[in-house]
Amino acid sequence: MSRTKILLDERDIPSHWYNVVADMPNPPAPPLGPDGQPIGPDALTAIFPEALIEQEVSAERWIPIPEEVREIYRLWRPSPLYRAHRLEQALGTPARIYYKYEGVSPAGSHKPNTAVAQAYYNREAGIRRLTTETGAGQWGSSLALVGEMFGIEVRVYMVKVSYEQKPFRRSMMQTWGAEVLASPTDQTEAGRKILAEDPDSPGSLGIAISEAVEEAASRDDTNYSLGSVLNHVLLHQTVIGQEAKKQFEMVDDYPDVIFAPCGGGSNFGGVAFPFFADKAAGKDVRLVAVEPASCPTLTRGHYAYDFGDTIGLTPLLKMYTLGHDFVPPGIHAGGLRYHGDSALVSQLYHEGLIEAVAVHQLPTFEAGVQFARAEGIIPAPESNHAIRACIDEALKCKETGEAKTLFFNLSGHGHFDMASYDKYFSGELEDFEYPAEAIDEALHHLPKVAGEG
Amino acid sequence: MSRTKILLDERDIPSHWYNVVADMPNPPAPPLGPDGQPIGPDALTAIFPEALIEQEVSAERWIPIPEEVREIYRLWRPSPLYRAHRLEQALGTPARIYYKYEGVSPAGSHKPNTAVAQAYYNREAGIRRLTTETGAGQWGSSLALVGEMFGIEVRVYMVKVSYEQKPFRRSMMQTWGAEVLASPTDQTEAGRKILAEDPDSPGSLGIAISEAVEEAASRDDTNYSLGSVLNHVLLHQTVIGQEAKKQFEMVDDYPDVIFAPCGGGSNFGGVAFPFFADKAAGKDVRLVAVEPASCPTLTRGHYAYDFGDTIGLTPLLKMYTLGHDFVPPGIHAGGLRYHGDSALVSQLYHEGLIEAVAVHQLPTFEAGVQFARAEGIIPAPESNHAIRACIDEALKCKETGEAKTLFFNLSGHGHFDMASYDKYFSGELEDFEYPAEAIDEALHHLPKVAGEG
């Protein structure tokens, strides 16, 4: 039997992040200010250090990774690429299935890849305190992990529904020394506004972002840190795809189709963008973003300028959106409950260069359980989205007899999601279809931008 | 900086298990039957397959690992050896600290190393159903994981206090398809007897073993599987120490002192025995078993024949014991709440060839948090025992200036133990000292064995 795990040496941790902007056919649509005009980098200095703002707007293909960041990556990177022999056998498919396992990080997902970088640049800029939001808790725990390592205090606004579903993600953040609040809180204007409208608000990533941004903008010693959506976040995640490319070389294979869950886009961008570089150079590879049918940003949203947060504190980003005030149903993939999407992912999708598919919650858990019983690892509910789409493709191969190479990013483990699995087993989980009438309704919630339809 | 992770290739997964019996100065004391006479292998065939019984009594130094077992090991083995650079810096010690990380297995601990082997030999013997006990849930989830892989139904008797402290370990077992009961149950005579005496019994490993053994002995289609204590279990765990030796060779270092948590002994035996082979050949290496002060089997127990379970269904094993009816306090290292210890570990300790130390619960959590903040990984409470002892030794080195090489087995992660960390942080955890009067009292609870004092 060929190898199960394809491993790299610590020396193979990438020395640079890959910036997909350099290979996009068109420059990214610029972020706009409240006046509808493109914002300059200065507009962001209240909440981000200069180095990250530069990365946010950079068009350079390669951006060097600081040695201190690479040192911390060595605690878990390079992550293994697995050949899913046992899953292939269980499915009876001629397809070759591979997955990159990012759950090996101490926080259990891909999120620390950018957390390390963000903490580093903030510390270099003299910042000693960071605020952030978290949905599933994967991002918040990642920032908590590295905050301690760089001597930075971390306050996490955790979406209330996840705070309640996942008390142990909170404990994990506290173990690493962070402070965790259930959002909406009464400690920010944004939070108080939401609570006044709905005291029982389950919260959302959009609301939590509003709270974290508001606090960072109002305190000189404090910056804000985002776990997805922004260009520099996706940039940092490209270590995943770069490593994967080397690992495929080692076994003399190359993916025909790549699947990644897509909420804010950092998971998808991280694994897919380095392969997009090949695609831009003529290589035949399909890149598929997999999103929840209950929050189908790419597949059913509008491509328009919208706020990144619920209250409207962020610059306007051109992206697929369901409206910045959309509160997604409380599905168990908390990391995918976001109304918008990365501007880079959105533009590539709009230009037909990548694909997207929406899947329902119950079939994703079914796929996750099938995966766990074959391969051992219990996946995070977010990751189950990619597994579902990959299994569907593998089953198509079974029908057609095609021996395609399929690859998905197993972005994290499900150790803090067992309550969700419990609900799946006991039949308490539901599917939520995003309602057709909400699509038109969302149009009316988009901010008016000069020159935009 | 020198390497952080020392990795082996899949080809380096050991081809044989190492049997410490071959290097012990004296043959192991034989297990005795109810009549006080050494039992033959036949006495065990009701609950174990022949291949495992042969391993239990073997004196061969090397026992080949079946290829199918090695195939499954490849899902997570070889496990990484880490150099704890960041912990060393945090402690300011001249010592070099290494740890082997067994939390990379899908069940999150070293336990699957023997679960795979036991499931394999049972399936080969035509067995389609296994019962077992679990304390912290690490063993039960390991057997659940591999049961599915070998087409074997698994029923787990889970110590009630752990069942309540760790609901998500139960969910994990169910995800892999196992059935989980809170022990004591009313489904076995053993369980009913305990409940009649104490309806609120928190359970113990000894009671859960009684239940699982009773059921296996009374059903032809069912065997029993134990996660520690027995010779064949420790044998299977020696893949850990064998890999570690190769990894130390790769960095041209060798441990002066090795620490492992010790409950039933499989963790300690797994990492220490392969180094004992070197010690038996004259090498200077200290092997230290670390146990809880609330259940101080080696350091304060009697070396005598006793039952492995609470009710007295197992053969008598010569071991350090606190009495088979001792119910340890509900400390949060559920995997270490066992009245006895491996006969092999006990004999080596009795002969002065290995060391033991007992540590209190609060300092172990303190060590675990210090470790998590430096190295990232949040350890299982069991593992925190080894970390405590290792940190204490590293701090001694700081005083003396000695640059010793220290090595501990990080037997598992704490993802399912966050409720315990919560209690630690909120000041709800207590230390329990094993009472002096209990030592004499325990003597009266030992079974009378002909020829023994």
pLDDT tens for residues A172-210?
999 999 999 999 999 999 999 999 999 999 898 889 999
Report the length, in residues, of chain B: 453
A375/B168 Cβ within 8 A: no
Residue in A closest to B80 by C-alpha: A76
Of A9, A71, A106, the CB nearest to B1: A71
Residues near A341 by Cβ (< 8 Å), separated by ≥ 6?
A229, A262, A263, A264, A265, A297, A298, A301, A319, A320, A321
User: Which pLDDT tens digit goes with each residue over B235-268?
Assistant: 999 999 999 999 999 999 999 999 999 999 999 9
Residue B64 predicted with pLDDT over 50: yes
The pLDDT assigned to B49 comes to 96
Residue in A closest to B375 by C-alpha: A75
Residue A355 · residue A286 · CB < 8 Å: yes
Q: Is B250 on the interface with A (CB under 8 A)?
A: no
Residue B320 · residue B346 · CB < 8 Å: yes
Q: Is A89 on the interface with B (CB under 8 A)?
A: no
pLDDT-derived band of residue A88, with 50, 70 and 90 as boundaries? very high
Q: Is B4 on the interface with A (CB under 8 A)?
A: yes
Residue range A139-149: mean pLDDT, rounded: 95
Residue B155 predicted with pLDDT over 50: yes
Q: What's chain A's average pLDDT?
A: 94
Helix A381-400 vs helix A361-375: angle between axes, to the nearest 10 degrees? 80
Rounded Cα distance, B442 and B453, in Å: 14
Q: What is the DSSP letter of A173?
A: H
- Token reading at A314: 């962020």
B376/A105 Cβ within 8 A: yes
Give CA separation, B79 vs B76, B247, B407, in Å. 6, 10, 15
The pLDDT assigned to B172 comes to 96
Pairing verdict, β B316-321 and A96-101: unpaired
Query: B49 phi and psi, to 5 degrees?
Result: -75, 155
Residue B371 · residue B346 · CB < 8 Å: no
User: Which pLDDT tens digit goes with each residue over B102-124?
Assistant: 999 999 999 999 999 999 999 99
Residue A451 predicted with pLDDT over 80: no
A3/B168 Cβ within 8 A: no
Q: Is B10 on the interface with A (CB under 8 A)?
A: yes
Residue in A closest to B81 by C-alpha: A75
Residue A16 · residue A64 · CB < 8 Å: yes
Rounded Cα distance, B279 and A392, in Å: 55
User: Which pLDDT tens digit goes with each residue over B21-59?
Assistant: 999 999 999 999 988 899 987 888 989 999 999 999 999
B1/A10 Cβ within 8 A: no
What are A63's strand-pairing partners? A17
Looking at residue B346, its amino acid is S
The pLDDT assigned to A43 comes to 83
Residue B136 predicted with pLDDT over 90: no
User: Which pLDDT tens digit goes with each residue over A101-130?
Assistant: 999 999 999 999 999 999 999 999 999 999
Of A304, A305, A322, the closest CA to residue A440 belongs to: A322
Query: B25 phi and psi, to 5 degrees?
Result: -65, -30
Residue range A90-110: mean pLDDT, rounded: 98
User: Which pLDDT tens digit goes with each residue over A205-228?
Assistant: 889 999 999 999 999 899 999 999
The 3-state secondary structure of chain B reads CCCCEECCCHHHCCCEEECHHHHCCCCCCCCECCCCCECCHHHHCCCCCHHHHHHHHCCCCEEECCHHHHHHHCCCCCCCEEECHHHHHHHCCCCEEEEEEHHHCCCCECCHHHHHHHHHHHHHCCCCEEEEEECCCHHHHHHHHHHHHCCCEEEEEEEHHHHHHCHHHHHHHHHCCCEEEEECCCCCHHHHHHHHHCCCCCCCHHHHHHHHHHHHHHCCCEEECCCCCCHHHHHHHHHHHHHHHHHHHHCCCCCCEEEEECCCCHHHHHHHHHHHHHHHCCCCCEEEEEEECCCCHHHHCEEEEEECCCCCCCCEEEEEECCCCCCCCCCCCHHHCCCCCCHHHHHHHHCCCCEEEEECHHHHHHHHHHHHHHHCCCECHHHHHHHHHHHHHHHHHHHHCCCCEEEEEECEECCCCHHHHHHHHCCCCCCCCCCHHHHHHHHCCCCCCCCCC
Quote the minimal CA–CA distance from B261 to chain A in Å.
Answer: 21
The pLDDT assigned to A437 comes to 86
* pTM to 2 decimal places: 0.95
The pLDDT assigned to B451 comes to 54
Looking at residue A135, its amino acid is G
pLDDT-derived band of residue B313, with 50, 70 and 90 as boundaries? confident
pLDDT-derived band of residue A453, with 50, 70 and 90 as boundaries? very low
Of B98, B78, B73, B79, the closest CA to residue B87 belongs to: B98
Query: B416 phi and psi, to 5 degrees?
Result: -105, 15
User: Which pLDDT tens digit goes with each residue over A220-261?
Assistant: 899 999 999 999 999 999 999 999 999 999 999 999 999 999
Residue A365 predicted with pLDDT over 90: yes
Q: Which residues of B touch A175 (CB under 8 A)?
A: 369, 372-373, 378, 418, 421, 425
pLDDT-derived band of residue A448, with 50, 70 and 90 as boundaries? confident
Residue range B11-15: mean pLDDT, rounded: 97
Q: Which residue has the higher pLDDT, B181 or B205?
A: B181
ipTM score of the complex?
A: 0.95
Q: Is B148 on the interface with A (CB under 8 A)?
A: yes
pLDDT-derived band of residue A11, with 50, 70 and 90 as boundaries? very high
The proportion of chain A whose per-residue pLDDT surpasses 90, expressed as a percent, equals: 83
Looking at residue B368, its amino acid is G
A1/B425 Cβ within 8 A: no
Residue A232 · residue A52 · CB < 8 Å: yes
Q: Is B104 on the interface with A (CB under 8 A)?
A: yes
> Cβ–Cβ contacts within 10 Å for residue B46, how many?
15
The pLDDT assigned to B167 comes to 85
Residue range A444-451: mean pLDDT, rounded: 77
Looking at residue A295, its amino acid is C
A418/B172 Cβ within 8 A: yes
Q: Is A75 on the interface with B (CB under 8 A)?
A: yes
B76, B165, B171, B366: best mutation site toward chain A, by most A Cβ within 10 Å? B171
Q: What's chain B's average pLDDT?
A: 94
pLDDT-derived band of residue B331, with 50, 70 and 90 as boundaries? confident
Q: Is A365 on the interface with B (CB under 8 A)?
A: no
Q: Is A86 on the interface with B (CB under 8 A)?
A: yes
- Token reading at B187: 């489904």
pLDDT-derived band of residue A310, with 50, 70 and 90 as boundaries? confident
B418, B422, B424, B426: best mutation site toward chain A, by most A Cβ within 10 Å? B418
Residue B113 · residue B103 · CB < 8 Å: no
Rounded Cα distance, B206 and B159, in Å: 9
Residue entry with tokens 């760790």:
B166
Residue B375 predicted with pLDDT over 90: yes
- Token reading at A371: 């995966």
Residue B179 predicted with pLDDT over 90: yes
Residues near A48 by Cβ (< 8 Å), separated by ≥ 6?
A56, A223, A224
Helix B138-149 vs helix B112-124: angle between axes, to the nearest 10 degrees? 40
Residue B217 · residue B131 · CB < 8 Å: no
Helix (H, G, I), strand (E, B) or coil at A59: coil
Rounded Cα distance, B114 and B105, in Å: 12
The pLDDT assigned to A281 comes to 96
Rounded Cα distance, B304 and B295, in Å: 16
pLDDT-derived band of residue A165, with 50, 70 and 90 as boundaries? confident
Residue B56 CB burial class (10 angstroms; 0-12, 13-18, ≥19) = middle
Q: Which residues of A touch B142 (CB under 8 A)?
A: none
User: Which pLDDT tens digit goes with each residue over A63-82?
Assistant: 999 999 999 999 999 999 99
Q: Which residues of A touch B175 (CB under 8 A)?
A: 369, 372-373, 378, 418, 421, 425
- CA B363, B368, B371, B372 torsion-angle sign: negative
Rounded Cα distance, A121 and B410, in Å: 32
The pLDDT assigned to B1 comes to 62
A145/B175 Cβ within 8 A: no
